[in-house]
Structure 1
């Protein structure tokens, strides 16, 4: 496959992953699909994990991948970006995408390891699984430790896992685009009307 067409495919593939990352991160602000916890967190109460507030899905897996995806996609077209210079720029943009995917993926892994913030039976809001051994992920019988928000453990595991998968795919695609862009910069984009 020609480097220009490959860039176009990579760019198109990055769009839904960036959108998925943004949507998952936004949903994480509303456990139990309630706005109460986000409002209380905004007031300084400990209701959401720091990984949610750092917005790895919106900033890292979302914006820092979406902007490169637009340029990478445009390098696959004939015209202003479908040339050696455009392919070189796609390498730089893809590197930004790699950084964004790493940011999102790292926060997702940390959130999965430490677990959610939830209310215990005694009324305290803490991260009860933060130092648990073995990991709480495989011990579903202890998830009932969290009394509020309802099903918070499953909610966090599902959304942070989706963020992690999206980040891994974004990392692979952007990493491949770095190689594709370097090859396209050296050899050209295979377009008939290539501009030097």
Structure 2
């Protein structure tokens, strides 16, 4: 194997690990929602978890580059100039996915969990649109929602207090409750992890673009079987 193929092998393995981590981080709040309520789409910790930054951006959009990168370093049909170039092109899609993963995660971190931002965990309060993503310059990274003891307003002392309490904490169908502090920890852990994973995926994808271009320009070592005067000869030649 040439240094380009070893380089690609390392990049492919790192991208695979990062993609699996992105999927795991994204599933964390989704699984917590389901365990708490016994049904999906009921009381999200954050609306941004349903934008699937880790499942789609850091996961599915990265896997094609992973498969081609790992295939391009093997002694097979993909181990060629064309395979190396294809791995570089697919890494462009990975960079787009990782950028989406990082951007959504940054927004989620700045906003905090839904219970801190809106005082409720109901889907009716998920009013986020793609237009919000264009206002990145207005984001502030004040983590007061995490550092403060509570981010919920004091419930009123009149008859409406019962309604407020019901909106604040939905009825649980399972004997499992995630309190406000736990929601904060899950939210911060999931989206900080996704932001870091997205940045690392972009760096590794850029590295593979460089490795793929070198492999395309310089060629790779591919094991070929040739017959010469009735004898089988095995050797490596540039493809």
> Normalised by the size of structure 1, how large is the TM-score?
0.81
TM-aligned CA distance change 1:186 to 1:118, over 3 Å: same
CA distance in structure 1 between the aligned counterparts of 2:73 and 2:183, rounded to whole angstroms: 43
Alpha-carbon contact 2:47-2:114 (below 8 Å) kept: no
| Secondary structure of 2:100's aligned partner | helix
CA distance in structure 2 between the aligned counterparts of 1:124 and 1:110, rounded to whole angstroms: 18
Aligned-residue CA RMSD in angstroms? Answer: 2.9
Equivalent pairs counted in the alignment come to 186
* Structure 1 moving runs of 4+ over 2 Å: 30-35, 37-41, 46-50, 122-127, 133-136, 138-141, 146-149, 189-196
Structure-1 residue corresponding to 2:215: 184
Offset, 1:189: 2.2
Structure-1 residue corresponding to 2:9: 8
Cα offsets for 1:117-159 (capped at 9, x unmatched): 1179x964569xxxxx974425644252257542211211111
CA distance in structure 2 between the aligned counterparts of 1:124 and 1:5, rounded to whole angstroms: 51
Cα offsets for 1:22-77 (capped at 9, x unmatched): 11111121347734186353xxxx63433211101001101111221111011111
1:69 aligns with 2:100: no
CA distance in structure 2 between the aligned counterparts of 1:47 and 1:34, rounded to whole angstroms: 11
Question: By percentage of residues, which structure has more helix?
Answer: 1
Structure-1 residue corresponding to 2:151: 145
> Normalised by the size of structure 2, how large is the TM-score?
0.68
- The unaligned stretches of length 5 or more in structure 2 are 127-138, 153-167, 170-177, 224-235
Structure-2 residue corresponding to 1:174: 205
- For the pair shown, the structure with the greater C-alpha radius of gyration is 2
CA distance in structure 2 between the aligned counterparts of 1:164 and 1:104, rounded to whole angstroms: 7
